[in-house]
């Protein structure tokens, strides 16, 4: 492979890290923070790493970065133009990763999701645990390696755990996540409950966003028995606020389905205060039937209420995968 570096000056070229570290597309707080925290840990262990992102940070993440006075990672769209090796955090499925993931070697993965379609030709370092957040695993790694967590990174890590677990309300929460937040709060010197709710609320200011942006804010694609399924989630403190925009949301979803050929698009709108969700579901008849089977619910006007459902990973994706 030939590297086109003509767009860089010599100083930039010399500053290039050997390995990039990044989370999934449409990054949430954990995808951004886990990249920052793992890149830092690996630097202490002698690796030449840089944390980058596969998209701009969302408002919740921006709030956390601002609060702990840390820069957002730069955004990349391709990795192989810069490096030969990468480290993945908070994801492993190729369709959630950088577009040219097939052209680079993955040397490390730190993740807390199912494993799907992730194939390598050589052994690698892979650390996954069924906990609420990648940053919880990173907290363990820092402790195992006896590496000090800087106060700003500790603040970001607890932000990621609070974000992924909705302040411990999500069923994905484990005792380890809670233990990590309490330990990190001491390092970051923050009242995690007060701060956490403020951060979550900062992420629910949706008024400035277009419908197109809303359905792409926290969306992931999944391959289910050969069908392409998109599951998006919006957090809010006022469900009616979002549902008032239902018609325009459906138009935006329908446009994405046509463009990306999704078999099914599920938009989960979650009230973070009472942990209930409303689903807007569009797609093929087969896809909608899979949804109805998965949740044992009839769709009415392409909608279904999902009381107590807050976790895409634990309460939506396995059920849909099973139904397909």
Site string for a copy of itself, 137-166 (x = CB under 8 A): -------x----------------------
- Which CB sits closer to a copy of itself, 122 or 191? 122
Question: In sequence order, which ranges of 26-72 are alpha helices (DSSP H)?
Answer: 29-44, 59-67
Q: Which of 116, 147, 202, 237 lies at the binding interface for a copy of itself (CB under 8 A)?
A: 116
We find the least distance from the C-beta atom of residue 116 to a copy of itself, in angstroms, to be 5
In the numeric block, which tokens belong to residue 266?
């599920």
Site string for a copy of itself, 120-139 (x = CB under 8 A): xxxxxxxxxxx---------
- Which CB sits closer to a copy of itself, 144 or 285? 144
Q: Point out which residues pair with 265 in neighbouring strands.
A: 230, 282
Distance CA 101, CA 131 (A): 25
- Which CB sits closer to a copy of itself, 34 or 269? 34
Q: Which of 313, 315, 316, 323 lies at the binding interface for a copy of itself (CB under 8 A)?
A: 313
Q: Do the Cβ atoms of 82 and 76 come closer than 8 Å?
A: yes
Q: Is 105 in the site for a copy of itself (CB under 8 A)?
A: no
Q: Which of 4, 9, 119, 285 lies at the binding interface for a copy of itself (CB under 8 A)?
A: 119
Q: Is 312 in the site for a copy of itself (CB under 8 A)?
A: no
Stretch that binds a copy of itself, among 113-121, 163-171, 203-211, 233-241 (CB under 8 A): 113-121
Residue 83's Cβ-side half-sphere holds a number of Cα atoms within 13 Å equal to 25
Q: Is 295 in the site for a copy of itself (CB under 8 A)?
A: no
Question: Cβ atoms within 10 A of the Cβ of 192, count?
Answer: 21
Number of residues that make up the chain: 324
DSSP-based helix, strand, coil % in the chain, nearest 5: 40, 20, 40
Residue linked to tokens 């389905």: 257
Residue linked to tokens 């899979």: 290
State the residues that interact with a copy of itself by CB under 8 A.
112-130, 144, 313-314, 317-318, 321-322
């Amino acid at each position: 492979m030939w590297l086109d570096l003509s767009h860089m000056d010599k100083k930039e070229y010399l500053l290039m890290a050997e390995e990039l570290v990044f989370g999934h597309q449409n990054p949430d707080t954990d995808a951004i923070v886990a990249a920052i925290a793992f890149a830092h840990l690996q630097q202490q262990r002698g690796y030449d790493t840089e944390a980058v992102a596969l998209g701009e940070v969302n408002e919740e993440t921006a709030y956390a970065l601002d609060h702990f006075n840390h820069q957002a990672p730069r955004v990349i769209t391709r990795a192989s133009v810069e490096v030969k090796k990468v480290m993945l955090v908070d994801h492993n499925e190729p369709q959630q990763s950088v577009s040219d993931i097939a052209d680079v070697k993955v040397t490390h993965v730190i993740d807390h999701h199912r494993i799907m379609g992730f194939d390598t030709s050589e052994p690698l370092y892979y650390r996954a645990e069924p906990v609420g957040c990648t940053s919880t695993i990173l907290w363990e790694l820092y402790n195992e390696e006896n590496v000090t967590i800087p106060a700003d990174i500790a603040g970001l890590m607890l932000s990621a755990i609070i974000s992924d677990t909705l302040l411990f309300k999500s069923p994905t929460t484990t005792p380890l996540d809670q233990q990590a937040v309490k330990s990190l709060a001491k390092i970051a010197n923050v009242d995690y409950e007060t701060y956490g709710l403020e951060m979550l609320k900062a992420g629910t200011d949706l008024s400035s966003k277009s419908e197109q942006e809303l359905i792409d804010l926290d969306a992931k694609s999944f391959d289910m028995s050969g069908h392409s399924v998109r599951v998006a989630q919006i957090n809010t403190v006022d469900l009616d606020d979002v549902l008032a925009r239902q018609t325009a949301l459906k138009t935006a979803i329908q446009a994405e389905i046509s463009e990306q050929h999704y078999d099914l698009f599920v938009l989960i709108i979650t009230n973070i205060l009472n942990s209930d969700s409303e689903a807007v579901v569009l797609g093929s008849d087969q896809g909608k039937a899979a949804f109805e089977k998965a949740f044992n619910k009839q769709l009415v006007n392409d909608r279904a209420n999902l009381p107590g459902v807050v976790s895409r990973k634990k309460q939506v994706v396995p059920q849909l995968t099973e139904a397909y």
